[in-house]
Every structure is written in C-alpha cells, then in structure tokens.
Amino acid sequence: MMMPLAFVSQHTSTSGAPIMRRSLVCLLLAFPALLLGQTPAASPVAEVRPVADTYFGTTVVDPYLWMETGADELLTYMKAENAVTIQALKPLEAQDSQILSELTKLSDTVAEVRGATRVLDQYFYLELPPGKSDARLMTRAVAGGPSRLLLDPATLAEGQKHAAIDYYVPSPDGKYVAVGVSLGGSENSVLHVLNVETGALMSEAMSRAQEANPSWQDDSKAFYFTRLQPMAPGAPASTKYDNERVYLHTLGAAEQTDRSVFGPDITSNPALPKNGDITVSVVPGTGMILASQVSGVVETRALWIRRTESDAWVPVVRHEDGLMDIAFHGTRAYIKTKGGANGAVSNGRVVTFDLAKETFASARVVLPESSLVLSAGTGSGVATSSDALYVHGFRDGLGVVLRIPYDRESKQRELSLPISGTVGGVDADFRRAGITLSMAGWTTPRLIYAYAPEVNTFTDTGLQPLNPIDMSSIRAVEVQAKSEDGTMVPLSILYRKDLPLDGSHPTLLEAYGAYGYSISPFFDPSLLPWLSRGGIYAFAHVRGGGERGEAWHLAGMKTTKQHTVDDFVASARYLIEQHYTSPAHLSIQGTSAGGIAVGGFLTQHPELIAAVLYRVGITDILRSEQRATGAENAFEYGSVKIEPEFRAMYGISPYAHVKDGAKYPAVMLETGANDPRVTSWMLTKMTARLQAANASSNPILLRVDFDAGHGIGSNRPQALKLRADEYTFLGWRLGMAGFSPDKASSEPPSR
C-alpha cells in the first residue's frame, strides 16, 4: 500500500532560518500482513497522522510523529509489536533455547571483572560471578588474598525492576565509596555512599544523579557531584539537561544542606550555556578544584580553576584546545589533546603545564604527535602514578603503553606488553608506583595486569580469572576494503579455520562509526554459537570512528556522514567479492549511533543484504534534537537549524528515505522501554514506516525489553536472551543449517 503524503506550501525566511509549517491529516492505515515463519500474522495497526515540516524550503513529512509524545498509545503499540516478534520466533523455539543454553554456559565459565581501580593498597572493581544476574561491587588487597563483597545491587531492586550499578568512586582513604544505582536499565541513578569497613549503606540517597561524576575532597569527608534539576510537568525531553548544578555534599548531612558551587543558573563568571554537562573535580593534594563544561558529545571540555576556596574561577583550558583526557601529578596537569583546527593534530599529543600559575596557553609538549593514536574510545589516555606519567593508545590496531619519568622526559620508552592486543582500563594511584591495566585480543582472553616499574614486569593481578574457553579454532584476519572514494577501510573478519570460502556462509557485519570511538580487538565467547555453526562475524572500521585518528572521525560526521555508510557498504562488497558470503547470506548490525550506519545501508542498498539487526539505534536524524540528549549529540550528527548540516542530515537520515514499494530485507529493530539515550520512538517510528512501505514478504519486527534501557544496566539474563534471539533470527533469515522454522533441531552444532 502506498502511503499518502500531505502536501504543504514551501517557505523560507529572509534570515535563512527554517520556517516550520505543519499540517495534520489523520488517516488510519492497516499494515500488510507479515509472513512470520510459514503463517501470515497481522501486524499492529498504527495510525498515520502526517505532519509536514519545512526546513530551508524542503518539506519533510513524518507520518508517525505522534509516537514521540503519545506515551500511552506508544506503549500499546510496542506491546503489540513485541507480541508479533515473539510469535515470529516461536517456531524456532528449540533453536533459540539451544543457543541460550550455550550462551549461558559460556558466560558462566568464569567471573567477569571490569572497572578495576586502585586506591592506596586496595583494588575496587565490579564482578559478575557465574550464575549471577548483575555485577556486584567488590574489594581486595593489592597484595592478594580473598575478595570481599561490598554491594549487591539486587538488594536495591524494586518490584519487577532490577537494579544495576552505573558508576562508583572510592574516597581517597579507601574508607567510603560513592556509588550510583538505577532501576530497569534507565541510568536514572540514585547516589549512595557505602562504608567499606562495614559494607553498610550510609544515609545518602540523592536522586537525579545520572553521570554524577563524584569527586572526593582530600580528607574523604565530602565530595562534589553533578545533579540534574527537577523537570517541570509537561516540559519537553530536550530540557532534561538544562541547568545542571554541581553540589558539595558532606558525609552524613541532609541533601537539602548541599551547597551548589557551579552551574548555568548560579555561576555568573564564567557565563555558562543552559544546556550541557558540567563537573567539578578535586586536584589531589593541592587544595585546588577544576570545573568543566561541555555542550556536546564531541565538543572538548573547557576548564576553570579555583586555586583557593575564596578565589574566582579562572579559565585554564578552552574548548578549542582539544582536551581529551587529563591527569595530575602535584600541581602539574598532563593533558592528552587532539588540538588544532579541524583535527590538525589528528593522532593526539600530550602537553603539560603548572595549574598553580599557568594555563594551557603556556603548555609545553611532552609527547608530540606520532603514529601512536590517542583518539577517544580506544582505551587511550594518560595516567599518573608516583613514579611516572603513563600514556596509552594504539598503533596499527594494537595497544601501546609509554612510560615517561617526570624528571627525565627524554627517557620515555615503550613498555613490553604481556600480550599483543587491546589495552584498556589503565589505572594508577598518584601515591603508588606503577599502573593496572587490562589486555585482550580477538582470541586471547582478557586479564588484568599490574606493572611494577622497579622490576619492569607485568604480573597477572588475579582479579580476572583466566577464561578457559578455547578459541584457537577461530581465525582473525585484518584486511582493507576500497570505499566509494577510493579510501581503504580496515575490516576485521572472524571465522572457523576449517571454513571454505565459497560464498555460502551466513555472515554478520557490524559497524559503529561515530564520536571517534574505535572497535578494537576483544575476547567475546558469546560469538562462539554463531562462529561454531559456520557463521562469519566481521567488523567494519568505518569513518566516523577513531581507528585512524581524529581525521578519520571528522571524515564521518555531520556533513561527511555519508562516508560512514559508503565504508560499511564497501566492507560488505569485499566480503561478497572475496567469497566469504553472498547477499542471500549477509546481514548487518548497528547499535546506538551505529543506527545511522545500518539504517543508511538498509535504505540505500537493501539488495546487498538479507537481514538487519537495528539495535537501540538512531533512525530519524532530523528529530534527534528533540531527544533529551539531542542538543549534545548535534555536535556529532549536525543540527537542522544550520542549512548545510540539515542538507547532509536529510540526505542520509534512514527514516526519511524509506521508500514505498521497495523490497526490504528482514529487519529486527530492538529497543528498551526505559532507554534514556535513544528513546523508543526512534525504533517504533522506523518499524511502522518499514512495515507500511515494504513490498517484500520479509518480516519487519520490533523487539522490546520493558525492563531495560540502552543496554547499559541490563542484567546477564536479559543480555543473553537478546543475543539468543538475534542469532535465531539471523539463522532463520540467512539460511543457516538447522534453522528452518518448520523443522526444529535440537542437535548441537558441529564444532
């Protein structure tokens, strides 16, 4: 059925700003039936109420705009769509159960440890033990010995909503921990304080503490934290992060007595924009504090210092200075920066200056730009211990760590790492020598190591038990695919060593391509149920990511975002041309911001793929600014208020380019009902639009978890069930052996 469009007159203002004219037509559209398994099933009926917006003379019609504000209607629609998805996968229940059993066994092999940090002679970390649903906060002596449970978030669950730890920050003396806990994957943290000696929660329970960034004063008696302001009834979601404030909280005091110290509506100098993210951090051992502000996800932070309690805020780092990471040794700041106009310092460098008397303008270079990439999201940055500055990044896709003595910077050297792979989680205590870091590779299990500079050796801390799962049968190859403009795009491919490359294999190709973040080698046993069944898993390192520095990021954001899609498509063509797979056996996957890549591929080249996983992803870029996080993300995606950016956004927005009568592959869109980042209406609108437009018999499904958000804070059973459903859906649609919906097979796969 062709969807009727509302036609409106086009207008432009003399100022160049878009005039938003809206027309409303209410129509009831019944979707075509979906072929689910072998039984046609009616999909939910979604009301079409076209609303036309005109931007710079271009009219864009949104048939499902009502989903952005119709909370009750939207929930009803989500429940109905989710029921259809359950029905669609039901004929494959045996296969799904088998995969879930395998995933559960793999995940229960050893405890998963993350977020390890050292405070004096203690480690604090999150541990997800075998058989448990949510990660628990633990502590252990650096010297070894038994671990001790500090907080099980299950004790804070409410009703049917599970609880998860979002963040934690130990006090400088290691006696307390500020910890954020939220319900149902919402990330709407409540800030608690834990007594480490007794394991008891103290009286603190501050709400609206999402990403509160607690920073303890040196005496461990008080901390600064960021808090959202209460939203007025009926206020639009885009105002959620207006007028954040940083408070100083004293342990045991009532939250009403907390003193606000920084924020747009309380700080006159500096004058701060209303919307954005702010923090206040203690410079350890100096009595000084630093305040920061950033308006967008890829804008770099500006810093102000207050050198004494009575001082005014003094600017020390500007937004344009390109700060990516900062660490302190006494009053000296060490800053990882990508500085320079348009990413001129693409791979990053490290500079230093004395906070007690200088600003960034006086900084000198400690580590000049080189082949070592210090871009965001790659486990790269700076850490300061008592003995030296440690800088970590990657070169040719592999982790690198440099040690730079404070008093002999020319004696810097590259450390010999325990394995070849990805460096992550580098942590240091400025009062102790050495660092703690994690390392892993595609087929090498992750371990957490301590580096002792006095003997120049890495030792396994024992925090992360060695995973005995054997992935030696898996081959990991690194190749390059030629994109539309001739750019060579890195591509990582994992598959069984005995697999003949005959073009017949079900393949899942994933891309992200945003914020300068990179996909680095990681050890993930959850890939085995797919790989062991003869599937291929590939990662396209597309532009918009940080694999080749800031220039690679800039080449795939805002007005250059089409490169991200082109690189994704080029990677798919490589897999087809080199006989890894064929269009009938190829699927693609994108998560969150990766939704732009996967959606662009889906709408521009549906003929190349047989299935799509659209995971909590951006679908309608033109409406992105209406989300709670929309203003911040406009720094990455662009703004419809700026004509060149609007033109690029409109040209690539997946939702705007779904075509009536096109034959689309099978698609499973996924959302969590409590998602604070990519709100559910992004996925529901795309579901309705694809279902209405699709001329093929391939199913368009929406999978909803009503006790989850963006995946952050989801518990283990939720994550495993989602993965099992994904593999089952792909096995069905890509023709994997044993996945015919009318013939369930309980036989285990050949290995």
Name the strand (E) or helix (H) holding 404: strand 398-405
Name the strand (E) or helix (H) holding 574: helix 562-577
3-class state of residue 533 by DSSP? coil
Cα–Cα dist 632/276, whole Å: 7
Contact between residue 625 and residue 640 where contact means Cβ atoms under 8 Å apart: yes
Query: Strand (E) positions, 63-211?
Result: 112-119, 122-128, 136-141, 148-151, 163-170, 176-183, 190-195
Q: Are strands 435-440 and 422-427 parallel, antiparallel or unpaired?
A: antiparallel
Looking at residue 7, what is its pLDDT? 21
The 3-class secondary structure across 167-205, one letter per residue, is EEEECCCCCEEEEEEEECCCCCCEEEEEECCCCCECCCC
- pLDDT band of residue 745 (cuts 50, 70, 90) is very low
Looking at residue 19, what is its pLDDT? 26
316-331 average pLDDT score: 95
pLDDT greater than 80 at residue 610? yes
pLDDT greater than 80 at residue 501? yes
134-149 average pLDDT score: 97
Cα–Cα dist 718/671, whole Å: 12
Contact between residue 216 and residue 169 where contact means Cβ atoms under 8 Å apart: yes
For 199-251, the pLDDT digits (tens) are 999 999 999 999 999 999 999 999 999 999 999 888 898 899 999 999 999 99
For 474-733, which CATH superfamily applies? Answer: Alpha/Beta hydrolase fold, catalytic domain (3.40.50.1820)
Q: How many CB atoms lie within 10 A of CB 47?
A: 16
pLDDT greater than 60 at residue 171? yes
Cα–Cα dist 562/649, whole Å: 9
Among 118-132, 337-351, 460-474, name the one with the lowest average pLDDT. 337-351
Residues β-bridged to residue 303: 292, 317
For 54-85, the pLDDT digits (tens) are 999 999 999 999 999 988 999 999 999 999 99
CA 545 distance to own-chain centroid: 12
Looking at residue 344, what is its pLDDT? 67
Cα–Cα dist 622/625, whole Å: 7
For 531-557, the pLDDT digits (tens) are 999 999 999 999 999 999 999 999 999
Contact between residue 506 and residue 536 where contact means Cβ atoms under 8 Å apart: yes
CA 110 distance to own-chain centroid: 25
Looking at residue 36, what is its pLDDT? 34
pLDDT greater than 90 at residue 453? yes
Cα–Cα dist 368/349, whole Å: 5
Contact between residue 436 and residue 425 where contact means Cβ atoms under 8 Å apart: yes
pLDDT greater than 80 at residue 29? no
Q: Where are the domains of the chain?
A: 117-234, 474-733
User: Tokens 């486990």 belong to which residue?
Assistant: 379
162-180 average pLDDT score: 97
Q: Which of 59, 57, 43, 56 is nearest to 5 (CA)?
A: 59
Cβ-Cβ contacts under 8 Å for 744 (sequence gap 6 or more): 91, 92, 93, 94, 95
3-class state of residue 361 by DSSP? helix
What is this structure's pTM? 0.90
Residues recorded for the chain: 751
Cα–Cα dist 286/329, whole Å: 10
- pLDDT band of residue 296 (cuts 50, 70, 90) is confident
User: Tokens 């190749």 belong to which residue?
Assistant: 479
Extract long-range pairs of 79-83: CB within 8 Å, 24+ residues apart.
Answer: 79/704, 80/44, 81/43, 81/44, 81/684, 81/687, 81/701, 81/702, 81/704, 82/702, 82/703, 82/704, 82/706
Among 146-155, 334-343, 382-391, 517-526, name the one with the lowest average pLDDT. 334-343
Cα–Cα dist 37/92, whole Å: 9
For 732-741, the pLDDT digits (tens) are 999 999 998 7
Looking at residue 330, what is its pLDDT? 97
Q: For 208-343, where are the alpha helices, taking DSSP H only?
A: none
Looking at residue 377, what is its pLDDT? 55
Side chain identity, residue 190: V
Among 130-134, 372-376, 566-570, 702-706, name the one with the lowest average pLDDT. 372-376
pLDDT greater than 50 at residue 12? no
pLDDT greater than 90 at residue 629? no
pLDDT greater than 60 at residue 348? yes
Side chain identity, residue 435: I
